[in-house]
Amino acid sequence: MNSTAKRLRAGLLALAALQALVSVWQYVFPRSFYDDFPTVSLDPPYNEHLLSDVGGLGLALTAMLFYAASVMERRVVVSALTGYVVYAGTHFLFHVRHFDHFSVRDAVGVGTGLGLEWALALVLLYVALRHHRTS
């Protein structure tokens, strides 16, 4: 591996470590993140910042999935699907634990829709891994 690749890898690992720290804190201890991270609790009750950040992350996943579909290269496809499986799984698990104020119809609709989305992503990841092993 040449020196440029080594620096690129180091930068990617640094970004991944920083993002992992913040993301785990946000996901596992959301109230602590809201209360203790500087400036987050200063956002208004309707949190445009939070929604636009989540929307931006969704657009990033969208770009990754479109790029993977266009190049169909093993590492890119597996990477995009792995990221999407993590997102869809954590999103599904949040909702199935927070149906307190949902009607039965809404809970079934949301749970089923998000569960199917996660299942589809898992199936596609499985197919991608098997397909690339055999080709």
In this prediction, residue 126 carries a pLDDT of 93
Res 132 pLDDT > 70: no
Total number of domains in the chain = 2
Helix or strand holding residue 5 (H, E): helix 3-28
Do 49 and 38 lie in one domain? The reply is no
Res 112 pLDDT > 90: yes
Domain containing 10: what range?
1-42
Global pTM value = 0.79
Do 48 and 105 lie in one domain? The reply is yes
Do 35 and 98 lie in one domain? The reply is no
Do 34 and 53 lie in one domain? The reply is no
Do 87 and 122 lie in one domain? The reply is yes
- Residue percentage of the chain with pLDDT more than 90: 49
Do 64 and 85 lie in one domain? The reply is yes
Do 51 and 24 lie in one domain? The reply is no
- Confidence band for 90, pLDDT divided at 50, 70 and 90: very high
- For 47, the 3-state DSSP assignment is coil
Radius of gyration of the chain (CA): 18
Q: How far is CA 35 from the centre of its chain?
A: 23
- Dump pLDDT digits (tens) for 17-60: 888 888 888 888 888 888 887 667 767 776 777 878 888 899 99
Res 135 pLDDT > 70: no
Q: Which segments of 29-135 does DSSP mark as H helices, in order? A: 30-36, 48-71, 74-96, 104-134
Do 4 and 36 lie in one domain? The reply is yes
Do 15 and 30 lie in one domain? The reply is yes
Do 92 and 123 lie in one domain? The reply is yes
Do 62 and 127 lie in one domain? The reply is yes
Do 56 and 11 lie in one domain? The reply is no
